Amino acid sequence: MFPNFNKKNEKETQSNVDKNLKMMSISAIVLIVLFLYTLTKADNVIHGSSYYVGVGFLFILLILTFALQKYKDKIRKKLGTNRFSNELEKAQEETPTNEKSKVKQKEEITSQIMPISSNITFQDVAGIESIKEELEEVVDFLNHPKKYQKHNISLPKGVLLVGPPGVGKTLIAKAVAGEADVPFFYHSAASFVHIYVGMGAKRVRELFIAAKAKAPSIIFIDEIDAVGKSRGMGSNDEREATLNELLTQMDGFESNSGVMVIAATNKIEVLDEALLRAGRFDRRVFLTLPSKEDRLKILNLYLKDKKYNFDIEKLSSDTSGFSSAALATLVNESLLNMIKRDGNTVLEEDIAIAKQKIQHGKKQIHILNEEQKDILATYQAGKAFITKAKVNLFENGIVQEDLIYPSLTQLQNQIKKYLAGSIALEIIKGESYIVFEDEIKEAYKIAHNLVDVYKMKSSQEGVIQKAKDDLKDELSANIEVVKELKRKLLKDEIVF
C-alpha cells in the first residue's frame, strides 16, 4: 500500500510547488507592468524616497521570482521529500497495515467499554436447579472450548432468559460469568436507543468489538425487548437501526469466537422473529416465580450466618407469589427493623413488619390469603388436567405448540387450554372468576382468527361456547382428579 501512497503524495507536492511559483511569477509581471505605466504617465508628480523604495522592492521581487523558477526542481525535491517523509513516518507509526489499524481501534473501544469480573457463582443463586443444568453446558464451553471445537460442535450464540421481573435473570447471568471466570459486559437495551439515528448501532458495534477483544467473555443485554421489538410495531428508525446492527453483529461472529450473548426479557412475545431464529438467541431458558421448595432454599441462603428465631418453613409457605428479589427485600427489611429495636436476632414481628412494608409500600407484592390461594389452585388444576403439562401455581400462559400446519381440531384444543381454568372454577366454586385475563384474550383471539382470518368457522361466539361446553363435560367427569391436582398445588405449588 505504501508505494502507491508515496507516488500520490509526491505528485500532490509537485503540483502545489508549481502552482505557487506560477502565481509568484504572474504577480511580479503584473506589478512591473503597473510600475512602467505609472512611470510614463505620472513622472512629473512622483517625488520622495517612498517612490524609490517601491521601485527597489519590485526589482527584488522580480529577481526572486526568476531565481525560484531557475532552482524550482531543487526546491520542489527538498520540500516534497521532507513533507512526504514526515507523512510516511506518521502513517507507518499509526497505520502500518489494516490489521494494526483495527487493533488500535479495538484498544480504544476496549478502554472505553470496560467489563466487570463477576464473583457470583451458582452457589449464590438458590432455587434454580433445573436452570443450572441448562447453563452448566454454557459454562463448560467457555472454560473448555477446545473440547467442543475438535468435534466441530457449535454451541448457541445466544441464550435468552425469559421470566417475570425479580426472578433473578441478571443474577443468573452474573453467576454464569462467575462460574466461567470470564469478563462480563452488562448493558441495558434501553441505553442503546438514542435520539439520533445511528448512535445506538454504533454503541452495539463498540460493545461487540470490546467483547471480542476480551474473549472468552459474556455480553448480557437486560430488557432486550426495549430494542428488540418486532419491526413494524410503531415507527422508530433509531430502534430499528439498532436492532439491525445487533442482528448483524450476532451473525458476524463465529460460534468459536468465545463470546456468549445472554439476554433477558419478560415479553418474549413482542421480540422480532429474526432475534429468535437459529443462530442467534436459539436457546431459551424460562424462569418462573419460585415454588415453596425454592423459596425455602432462597430464604436459607439469605439468612445464612444470621440469627433468627421463627419458623422458616412456615415463612416459605406464607410468601406465595414472592420473587427471589422480593424475598431478598423481605429479609433485608426484617434486619433493618431488628436494628431499629436494638436486637441481634430476627423475630417473627420483624418479618410481619417487613411484609407489611412490601405489601403496602412502593414495591407491592400481592400476598395471597388462603381463600385466594384456593381460587388460584383450582384455576391452575383445571388447566393442568387439560394441558397434561407441568403447571406452576403462579405461572400464567400455556406452552405453545409449534403448529406449522394447524388443523381446526388443534386450534380448538388451544382455545380449551386457555379456558380450562375458568371453567374449573365455575364447576368447583359455582361461580365465575377473573384470574389470568390474558388467557381469556388469547382464547378469543384464536376464535376470531378461525372466523375472520382462516374462514374455518362462521361464529366467534359459537366457537367459544362449544369449547366451554366440551370443557364442562370433561372436567365434570374427572372432578376428583382435578381436586387432587388442586391439593397438590396448594401443598407443593407445582404439578407435573
pLDDT (average), residues 108-136:
75
* Helix (H), strand (E), coil (C) string for 407-459: CHHHHHHHHHHHHHHHHHHHHHHCCCCCCCHHHHHHHHHHHHHHHHHCCCCCC
pLDDT in tens, 228-279: 877 765 556 677 888 888 888 887 655 556 788 888 888 888 888 888 887 7
Give the span between the Cα atoms of 28 and 59, in whole angstroms: 9
Q: Can you give the C-alpha Rg of the chain in angstroms?
A: 38
- Residue 216: closest CA among 142, 138, 140: 142
pLDDT (average), residues 408-429:
91
* pLDDT surpasses 80 at 155: no
Q: Measured in whole angstroms, how far is the alpha carbon of residue 225 from the centre of its chain?
A: 8
Q: How many CB atoms lie within 10 A of CB 62?
A: 16
Helices H / strands E in the chain, number of each: 20, 10
Alpha carbon separation from 162 to 221, 265, 390 (Å, rounded)? 12, 5, 17
> Which one is predicted more confidently, 91 or 227?
227
Q: In the numeric block, which cell numbers belong to residue 109?
A: 473501544
Give the span between the Cα atoms of 462 and 467, in whole angstroms: 9
Q: Taking all residues of the chain, what is their mean pLDDT, rounded to a whole number? A: 77
CB-hemisphere CA count at 13 Å for 99? 0
Most confidently predicted of 126-140, 162-176, 362-376, 476-490: 476-490
H or E, element range at 351: helix 348-360
Q: In the numeric block, which cell numbers belong to residue 66?
A: 526568476
CB 272 within 8 A of CB 243: yes
**391-392/217-222 β-pairing:** unpaired
* pLDDT at residue 92 in the model: 46
Is 218 strand, coil or helix?
strand
pLDDT (average), residues 40-64:
62
Q: Residue 116 is which amino acid?
A: I
Give the span between the Cα atoms of 432 and 480, in whole angstroms: 20
CB 217 within 8 A of CB 182: yes
Place of cell 434486619: 335
pLDDT (average), residues 461-481:
92
* pLDDT surpasses 80 at 110: no
pLDDT in tens, 86-96: 543 444 455 45
Cα 254-255-256 angle, rounded to 5 deg: 90
pLDDT in tens, 365-407: 556 778 888 899 999 999 999 988 888 887 777 766 667 788 8
* pLDDT surpasses 90 at 290: no
* pLDDT surpasses 60 at 34: yes
Scanning 256-291, the segments in alpha helix (DSSP H) are 273-276
- Residue 323: closest CA among 348, 350, 358: 358
